[in-house]
Amino acid sequence: MFFHWRVFFHSLIFVLILEAVIRKTVSGFLVSLIAGKLIVVIILLLVFLFIVASSSLKISRRFGALPIPLTLTFSALGLLAFIDSDSKKFFFIILSWATYYFCLLGLYRLRVFVKDQTARAILAAVAVASIFLFYSLLYGFYLNFSVSLWIVMFLFMVPTVAVSHQYLRLMEAEKGKVWLYSLVLGFCMTEIAWILNFWPFGYLTNGVVMLIFYFMLWNLAQSHFLNIVSKRGFVWNIVFFGILAIMVLASSKWLPVV
């Protein structure tokens, strides 16, 4: 079943938050940030994240289920500030709402039956989408504001580790091994973020390239926990994602477009 009233109700709260950002606070966020009133932005953001965290806990009843919905919310809120067109904002909100709805649906189904393969697949898709939005947001923030690179690298690592751990924990593997692989994913993506810092691309292009690398590494980790790793699959992964990355870079402008 892909519809649940309680999940739908909580997802409406998410939409109202995004609508509130569009109506009242998107420009206010940027003005406050530029004016040095960072505390205003932080307080509003914490309030929004608290509301989403409460909804996620009511659905999942597990604190370990918070990284993915919180990362998705934080990224969606931030990226709204980089969208100028009202129609694009509306389209982005619809996509974000759908992603958040399926996130809560996956958490609910896993609460009912922890081995629900459909729920795992849903949560995997949401995790990858959340990581992409977060990477794009962080690069957009980095390219628009004077932020030290080491801070950006640290911020790349934390959600990567948290989101990866939440999903890989569903593989029913040893907890210590899940943390180890999640940390390895975080360190790898941090190094890749440092390398991409020298590339002349905009934040969306960098976000897509980061997503390609993350998905490749994340898929290998998942395959390991499911005992389906093979040399042939490993080679095909590298070839396929390598070609995909080349296609993205070849079709992008070699100047930052923000």
Cα–Cα distance for residue pair 161/183, rounded to 1 Å: 6
Residues 6+ apart with CB under 8 A from 134: 71, 74, 75, 159
Cα-based distances in Å from 82 to 41, 139, 159, 177: 15, 11, 21, 38
- Residue 1's pLDDT is what? 62
Cα–Cα distance for residue pair 25/19, rounded to 1 Å: 9
- Among 87, 112, 137, residue at a domain's last position: 112
- Residue 258's pLDDT is what? 46
55, containing H or E segment: helix 38-60
Cα–Cα distance for residue pair 101/77, rounded to 1 Å: 16
Low-confidence ranges of the chain (pLDDT < 70): 1-2, 23-41, 172-173, 254-258
The pTM is what? Answer: 0.84
Residues 6+ apart with CB under 8 A from 143: 202, 203, 256, 258
Q: Are residues 89 and 157 in the same domain?
A: no
- Residue 250's pLDDT is what? 76
Q: Are residues 104 and 158 in the same domain?
A: no
Cα-based distances in Å from 174 to 64, 166, 181, 225: 15, 13, 11, 10
Cα–Cα distance for residue pair 193/111, rounded to 1 Å: 34
Task: Name residue, tokens 């692989």.
Answer: 181
- Residue 100's pLDDT is what? 92
Task: Name residue, tokens 């974000």.
Answer: 96
Does residue 134 fall inside a structural domain?
no
Does residue 205 fall inside a structural domain?
yes
Q: Which domain holds residue 31?
A: 1-112
- Residue 257's pLDDT is what? 46
Q: Are residues 1 and 108 in the same domain?
A: yes
Q: Are residues 32 and 102 in the same domain?
A: yes
- Among 90, 112, 134, residue at a domain's last position: 112
Q: Are residues 180 and 227 in the same domain?
A: yes
Cα–Cα distance for residue pair 210/127, rounded to 1 Å: 14
53, containing H or E segment: helix 38-60
Q: Are residues 106 and 174 in the same domain?
A: no
- The domain total for the chain is 2
